[in-house]
Amino acid sequence: MDFELKILGSSSATPTFERHHTAQVLTVGNQINLIDCGEGTQMQLMRYKVKHQRICNIFISHLHGDHYFGLAGLLSTMHLQQRTSSLNLFGPKGLAEILTLQFKYGGTQLPYRINFVEVDTSVCKKIFEDKYLTVHTLPMQHRVPCCGYLFKEKPKPRHLLKGKLPSFLTPPQLVRLKWGEDIRNEQGEILVRNQDVTSDPKHSRSYAYCADTKYKEDILPYVKGVDLLYHESTFLSDMEHRATHTFHSTAAQAATLAQKAQVKRLLIGHFSARYKDLHPLLEEAQAIFPNTNLAVEGKTVSILE
């Protein structure tokens, strides 16, 4: 099953000619999740051939325009293109009020349902769950209420070792083995020991999206060991003072967090328009956490099982 992230925008608040406002697409199997939706996201979706009608969930981190000013336009285009399937929209207080007002004055009545979930940006809390995935909020520290999102695949079934399975096992017993149980008789004695007939399940993959934030170690327990951490890196370290003042992070801070959280891979983005060349940001991060990449628009990061 696919578990891959596509970057649609990598710029901080002022866009540049090459870099757009924040938006990312996380594909998990057939499910497309849109994470933030800066101005122009619908055009970026078109550019990178992501079908917006397949988006099931939209997660908005906070109400600075560079993270959501493309949302009303995208929802309108879904409407014009006859979307009928419902959509889950997660975001902080105020988002529904703004959209409602825009649609009121636009005389827009959407032909599909939006299930709006107002998230509490101050806690790590499960806000979504389906067969494959859970999503938790990650509290950020920014100038307005802001959260990241943690996407985790659910635990997967163990592999049955076909050559080692006794033939008397029934289908329900096989399912129980897949989920880690031993098979016992009515007296409670073990007939088939799980570890003898199964091997470990495929890895459950995880992606943590850390939106605009000051350096903040208290999220470490939540993002510990994730396969992929995206962390904003608006500035280089020589502007750490400005980063702190504006509630943003430096590339070194992002890398330090990645290192402390022992994540597998770090992606940095949300670059200030002042950086034409992004390599100094990459080098600064890699000096601390070598497995770092730049968020590059149109590029996909696949996480293998």
The nearer residue to its own copies, 81 or 302, going by C-beta atoms, is: 81
SS (H, E, C) the chain: CCEEEEEEECECCCCCCCCCCCEEEEEECCEEEEEEECCCHHHHHHHCCCCHHHEEEEECCECCHHHCCCHHHHHHHHHHCCCCCCEEEEECCCHHHHHHHHHHHCCCCCCCCEEEEECCCCCCCEEEECCCEEEEEEECCCCCCEEEEEEEECCCCCEECHHHCCCCCCHHHHHHHHCCCCEECCCCCEEECHHHHEECCCCCCEEEEECCCCCCHHHHHHHCCCCEEEEECCECHHHHHHHHHCCCCEHHHHHHHHHHCCCCCEEEECECCCCCCCHHHHHHHHHHCCCEEECCCCCEEECCC
CB of 84 or CB of 199, closer to its own copies? 84
The nearest distance, CB 9 to its own copies, in angstroms, is: 11
- Nearest approach in angstroms of CB 3 to its own copies is 28
Cα distances (Å, whole numbers) of residue 304 to 5, 40, 160: 12, 30, 21
Nearer to its own copies, 41 or 198 (CB): 41
- Position 111 contacts its own copies (CB under 8 A): no
Does 248 appear as a known binding residue?
no
The number of residues that bind its own copies (CB under 8 A) is 40
- 274 binds its own copies per the rule CB under 8 A: no
**Residue 245 assigned as binding residue:** no
Sites for its own copies among residues 13-72 (CB under 8 A): 13-17, 20-21, 39-40, 42-43, 46-47, 63-66, 69-70, 72
**CB of 247 vs its own copies, minimal distance in Å:** 11
In the region spanning residues 126 to 165, those forming contacts with its own copies, defined by CB under 8 A, are 143-144
Find the catalytic residue in 2, 66, 200, 238. Answer: 66
120 catalytically annotated: no
Give the count of beta carbons closer than 10 Å to the beta carbon of residue 120.
14
Binding mask of the shown chain, residues 212 to 231, with x at each position contacting its own copies by CB under 8 A: --------------------
Binding mask 67-106 for its own copies (x = CB under 8 A): --xx-xx--xx--xx----------xxxx-xx--xx-xxx
Residues recognised as catalytic = 66
Residues that bind its own copies (CB under 8 A): 13-17, 20-21, 39-40, 42-43, 46-47, 63-66, 69-70, 72-73, 76-77, 80-81, 92-95, 97-98, 101-102, 104-108, 143-144
Q: Which residues are annotated as a binding site for Zn(2+)?
A: 62, 64, 66-67, 142, 212, 270
